[in-house]
Amino acid sequence: MWEDKHMKQLGSVMSSEIAETPKVFAEILDNREAFDSIKNLLVDQNIHSVLILARGTSDNAAHYLKYLIETQIGLPVGLTSPSSVTVYNSELQYKNTLVVAISQSGQSPDLVHFATAARDASAYVIAMTNDDSSPLATIAHNHFSLQAGPELAVAATKSYNAQLLVSYLLVCTWTGKVVNSDQIISEAQRICDNPNLVTQAVINTSRDNEIVILGRGFAYPNAREAALKIQETCKISVQGLSTADYLHGPISALTSETQVFIVAPLHLPNESIVEATSKIRKTSSRIFWIGNGGTPIGNDIVLAGSNCDDEIISTLVDAIVLQRFALEFAVASGFDPDAPEGLSKVTLTH
């Protein structure tokens, strides 16, 4: 495997959990019949809109599901504000609304409180968690297991990857799209087996200079997640933004030393990021690409991703790449990404 002696001392748990991703994918895909229960849900429940309930890493997966539903089905999708219930005691009116709760633990009190209020307000509730007996799993009309097994490292990896895949399978169930299971698993395995996947990027990234991670469309959730993972494991502040939002102000802080990571899965429409990359190159030449899409030139560094058939599944497989970078960058910086100071595995937000 790709772990060396030093990696086993620091980040060995996170390392092993990332490497379990192909197995997790296989278990989810082998259990496709579980999704038959919601095949006709949108019609049977006369769903007019969708809301997604999540926090932290799961909130980044929520953005992926949001793009999936909006682009593949056309329903309006929003992200919930749990404090509207937990702090402001709002009375919800959720008839003909689907609420999808995404959580690794299924235990966060504010998510449980909101899901309960949503169900009481006539919403149809689906949950995806890594614990079949969790409160969120119990509240939901339908629960889908992430099949990730115990996840001990504080920084979520295989459970996030599972959330992306379950989100994809939910939407494929509603649209009747054929799923290329073999390709998803084989590409995930190929990436996991590459010992030098992120080595050049780690060597050429400095903790002392600003890091910005950008993505658009399906790449945006992974840009947010990459920034979160680096912040969690490396104890530095990192921005994770849409390329479009970056042009609306934050680019003014760009300097020649800014390290810009652009999340670019294979089949990403290049026109979606060309304006941003052109403007960035005028100031900074320190550009990194996560994935096999995009337009790298010159001394750009590429963290190679998957070779899947479309942008959607390339995105969910490429999540492994950003996790490996966060892991190895943390270890190179002398931190243990398994147990970052000040964080716990389950955050009980009220």
Single-letter residue type at 274: V
Residue 7 has pLDDT above 60, yes or no: no
Residue 4 has pLDDT above 60, yes or no: no
Regarding whether 230 and 140 lie in a shared domain, the answer is no
Whole-angstrom Cα distance, residue 17 to residue 245? 33
Regarding whether 206 and 167 lie in a shared domain, the answer is no
pLDDT bracket for residue 83 (50, 70, 90): very high
Domain assignment present for residue 190? The answer is no
Higher-confidence position of 5 and 249: 249
pTM beyond 0.85: the answer is yes
Regarding whether 244 and 312 lie in a shared domain, the answer is yes
Domain assignment present for residue 296? The answer is yes
Regarding whether 214 and 85 lie in a shared domain, the answer is no
In Å, how far from its chain's centre is CA 31?
Answer: 21
pLDDT, position 5: 43
Domain assignment present for residue 149? The answer is yes
Q: For position 65, which CATH number holds?
A: 3.40.50.10490
Q: Domain containing 25: what range?
A: 5-184
Overall domain count for the chain: 2
pLDDT bracket for residue 311 (50, 70, 90): very high
pLDDT bracket for residue 340 (50, 70, 90): confident
Residue 324 has pLDDT above 80, yes or no: yes
Residue 60 has pLDDT above 70, yes or no: yes
pLDDT, position 341: 72
User: What is residue 48's DSSP assignment?
Assistant: -
- Which of 131, 150, 184 is at the close of a domain? 184
Place of tokens 């899409």: 293
Regarding whether 235 and 152 lie in a shared domain, the answer is no
Residue 138 has pLDDT above 70, yes or no: yes
Regarding whether 100 and 59 lie in a shared domain, the answer is yes
| Bridge partners (DSSP) listed for residue 129 | 145
Q: Are 99 and 53 in contact (CB under 8 A)?
A: yes
Higher-confidence position of 346 and 95: 95
pLDDT, position 9: 80
Residue 61 has pLDDT above 60, yes or no: yes
Residue 187 has pLDDT above 60, yes or no: yes
pLDDT digits (tens, 9 = 90+) for 97-128: 999 999 999 999 999 999 999 999 999 999 99
End-to-end Cα spacing for the chain: 41
Q: Torsion over CA of 320, 325, 326 and 327, rounded to 10 degrees? A: 90
pLDDT digits (tens, 9 = 90+) for 208-261: 999 999 999 999 999 999 999 999 999 999 999 999 999 999 999 999 999 999
Domain assignment present for residue 340? The answer is no
pLDDT, position 19: 98
Helix (H) or strand (E) holding 242: strand 238-242
Higher-confidence position of 238 and 342: 238
Residue 185 has pLDDT above 90, yes or no: yes
Q: Where are the alpha helices (DSSP H) in 235-310?
A: 243-247, 274-281
Domain assignment present for residue 237? The answer is yes
Q: Are 315 and 188 in contact (CB under 8 A)?
A: no
Regarding whether 149 and 16 lie in a shared domain, the answer is yes
Domain assignment present for residue 282? The answer is yes
In Å, how far from its chain's centre is CA 219?
Answer: 9
pLDDT bracket for residue 3 (50, 70, 90): very low
Regarding whether 222 and 131 lie in a shared domain, the answer is no
Regarding whether 166 and 82 lie in a shared domain, the answer is yes
Residue by residue, DSSP assigns 3-33 as --HHHHHSSHHHHHHHHTHHHHHHHHHHTGG
Could you tell me if residue 267 is left (phi over 0), alpha (psi between -120 and 50 degrees) or otherwise beta?
Answer: left
Averaged confidence pLDDT in the chain: 94
